[in-house]
Structure 1
Amino acid sequence: MTRVAVIGAGIAGLCAARELQGLGYDVDVFEKSRGRGGRLASKRLSWATVDTGAQYFTARAPRFRQQVKQWLDCGAAQRWTFTPHKMIGGQLQLSPDDTERFVGTPNMNSIAHHLAANLKLQLNVTVTAIERRHQNWYLTDHSGAEWGAYQWLVVAIPATQARQLVSERMPQAAAQQDALLPCWAVVLATKGSVCPTIQGVFGDDTVSWLSRLSAKPERIKPAGCDDVWLLHFSPQYSAQHTQSHCTPASETQRYHQPQQIIADAKAWLSKTLAHELDTVHEYHHFWRYAHFKPSQQQQAPLFDSKQRLAVIGDWCHGGRIEGAYWSAIHAVEQMVSR
């Protein structure tokens, strides 16, 4: 049986692993964190489980819509139906569209858990080096342990990290541009009445998106709270505050976060809703690789059939959940055709 190593348990990595396993490949998935899902992240806190990464996703191509239907049928996802608002000239206004939005249920990470079912996952394992010997791949992790042999290697991590890992074996990876920008995510659990139609807001130069998490399907409000809100700060704001206010706490690029970020989130929320709310709980997270650069051209997945090496990710397809899915599907199709 052909063995495959997949580095990264985000949507691209999980979709690739699931497709390959279904085709009879023996697949191991390596993930440096303790959870799976990548940008479909949900954080379990003492007072709630909150979505801190992607807030919803869309489905355009027929094949991906079929995949989403499977998630809907098994209860891993539901439609999130609402009319979005938009900040225009400092004023909150309705901004109707015909976009069909989907969310994981009971949280965004549920889709990742569904995809990961029956896969062999190695969590909390950071792959620090790869080596090809005798037509096989071997991986070295952070503890010095070696994994292998694998006949195929699929790298499904952000472009910057992928470039560091594979550029010696795949020179074309060095030319890959950094397609993703940072994002501060702030969650506020509040008390106070807010118009129920306000569920999703396209923001401004400070906050790019506001979600009313408590309005999503199957969400549970924390005790003593009326609502839970998620603010995704803009790439410009996030980059500026990362540089001027944050210092790396470790080599994993976690950051100490000043109270100014929380204060800015509260002020923006109050201004947007034109209503002062009492904050009961708060949480923050810094995403180093989050927003897709608007000017970034789509980059094709890297594929080397001779070395049996593929590099995939949503950054190859516009930074969306659907893009992550397609990068995986295209890589698998090339693998099985060899």
Structure 2
Amino acid sequence: MEQILVIGAGLAGLSCAKSLQKAGHSVLIVEKSRGVGGRVATKRLYNTCVDQGLPALEPQGECTDQLLADLMSARSLQLWTDITHQWQENYSLLPRSMGKQYSLPDGVNAIAKHLAQDLKILRQQRVEQIHYAHDNWEITCQMAEGELTQYQGKALVLAVPAPQAIPLVAPLKLPSLLTPLESIEFDPCISLMVGYTPTPQWEALPWQILTLPQSTTLQKIFYDSRKRSHPEQVVFVLHSHPDFARHYIDSDNLETVARTLLRAAQETLDLPFDSPQWQQIHRWRYARPSNNLGSAYLSTAEPLPLICCGDWCLGNSAEAALLSGYGAAQWLNTRPQLD
């Protein structure tokens, strides 16, 4: 039996588990996906890698500064850009300074893999239920093969988006947790990855990050292949506007959704986005918290320590996720039940 169970291997769950393990606790992470990182996600496809969620890591405070320092000593972290361009109604580009955006040639998911080193993580196990039994938290998971398995611990960390925590917490009848969880809302995003043959027209583009404030279809376009060493193709990642994603998030026809996004990019920018060599689409139902808890975590000590953490506790940023994870670990380290 593990002493502490962590549900979710995003930045908050990994940073929490890392800190707890460093303090001497036995920790087990249970993750529903095949990989780690949550929205810090990189796809390997068509002989390249593409960042389909978080595009880069930005220094936003003490936690991200330390993570960047660790990555710089361990990997070939590189500056991608410190400028975003905004598309204007008069078909011009307005450059704006922003925080330095750092990328990794093998994808932003390398950040999560770095945090996951030496942690015990069970992948492709979806948590179906949590309950208190025999003086332990017990979680029931469905494995990829459909079989059910259970794990027990003296403390439980829910490092998942608040809407995903609600159905797990609701049966416990803990209003001190459930009511704040129900107050958190998320904006969805549809992410479209597309690849093209290099042409002078693509290579002449002056931007790495383009925002489209007038569009109700597209929010941002990222020139993803400019993060790679010697790219053989031109790759973009298109992020939809939240309202567009809300309308199409449950669509059965993702091919039509992709065409709509590409048509919007082509008509707005007058660039040949409509004929990619390849494309792949991903739905982020909980892409960005649109409000936040206002504190680093949400917790109860009864009947045993249970704590919820994530970027939604403090805001929409990697710094918020890391701060929340570390804060949750600090709270658990003070629990007498874990001495």
Tell me the SS of whatever aligns to 1:65. Answer: helix
Q: Percent identity?
A: 28
Partner of 1:5: 5
Q: What is the Cα deviation at residue 45 of structure 1?
A: 1.7
Q: What is the Cα deviation at residue 75 of structure 1?
A: 1.1
Letter in 2 for 1:328: G
Partner of 1:231: 238
Partner of 1:112: 112
1:186 aligned to 2:192? yes
Q: What is the Cα deviation at residue 271 of structure 1?
A: 3.4
Q: How many residues align?
A: 320
Q: What is the Cα deviation at residue 184 of structure 1?
A: 0.7
Partner of 2:277: 280
Letter in 2 for 1:234: H
1:132-281 paired onto structure 2 within 5 Å = 132-142=132-142, 143-148=147-152, 150-169=153-172, 170-175=174-179, 176=181, 177-191=183-197, 192=199, 193-194=201-202, 195-204=204-213, 205-216=216-227, 218-219=228-229, 221-222=231-232, 225=233, 227-242=234-249, 246=251, 256-277=252-273, 278-281=275-278
Gaps of 5+ in 2: none
CA distance in 2, matches of 1:305, 1:90: 57
Q: What is the Cα deviation at residue 331 of structure 1?
A: 0.8
What is the aligned-residue RMSD (CA, Å)?
2.1
Letter in 2 for 1:257: N
CA distance in 2, matches of 1:32, 1:14: 14
User: Would the aligned equivalents of 2:184 and 2:289 in 1 still touch at CA under 8 Å?
Assistant: no
Tell me the SS of whatever aligns to 2:190. Answer: strand
Q: What is the Cα deviation at residue 108 of structure 1?
A: 1.0
1:33-72 paired onto structure 2 within 5 Å = 33-72=33-72
User: Would the aligned equivalents of 1:181 and 1:288 in 2 still touch at CA under 8 Å?
Assistant: yes
Partner of 2:101: 101
Letter in 2 for 1:208: Q
Q: What is the Cα deviation at residue 47 of structure 1?
A: 3.5
Letter in 1 for 2:196: T
User: Would the aligned equivalents of 1:57 and 1:320 in 2 still touch at CA under 8 Å?
Assistant: no
1:319 aligned to 2:316? yes
Structure 1 residues 331 and 130, CA gap change in structure 2 (3 angstroms): same
User: Would the aligned equivalents of 2:184 and 2:292 in 1 still touch at CA under 8 Å?
Assistant: no
Tell me the SS of whatever aligns to 2:191. Answer: strand
Tell me the SS of whatever aligns to 2:99. Answer: coil
Letter in 2 for 1:214: S
Letter in 2 for 1:29: I
Tell me the SS of whatever aligns to 2:115. Answer: helix
CA distance in 1, matches of 2:240, 2:267: 15
User: Would the aligned equivalents of 1:107 and 1:219 in 2 still touch at CA under 8 Å?
Assistant: no
Tell me the SS of whatever aligns to 1:81. Answer: strand
Q: What is the Cα deviation at residue 63 of structure 1?
A: 4.1
Structure 1 residues 155 and 262, CA gap change in structure 2 (3 angstroms): same
Letter in 2 for 1:146: Q
User: Would the aligned equivalents of 1:183 and 1:238 in 2 still touch at CA under 8 Å?
Assistant: yes
1:328 aligned to 2:339? no
TM-score (norm 1): 0.88
Q: What is the Cα deviation at residue 280 of structure 1?
A: 1.0
CA distance in 2, matches of 1:30, 1:274: 46
Letter in 1 for 2:6: V
Q: What is the Cα deviation at residue 272 of structure 1?
A: 4.2
Tell me the SS of whatever aligns to 2:36. Answer: coil
Deviation digits for residues 52-111 of structure 1 (CA, Å, limit 9, x no counterpart): 111123222234312221122211643222422112226241322141222344201111
Out of 197-206 and 18-27, give the one that drifted further: 197-206
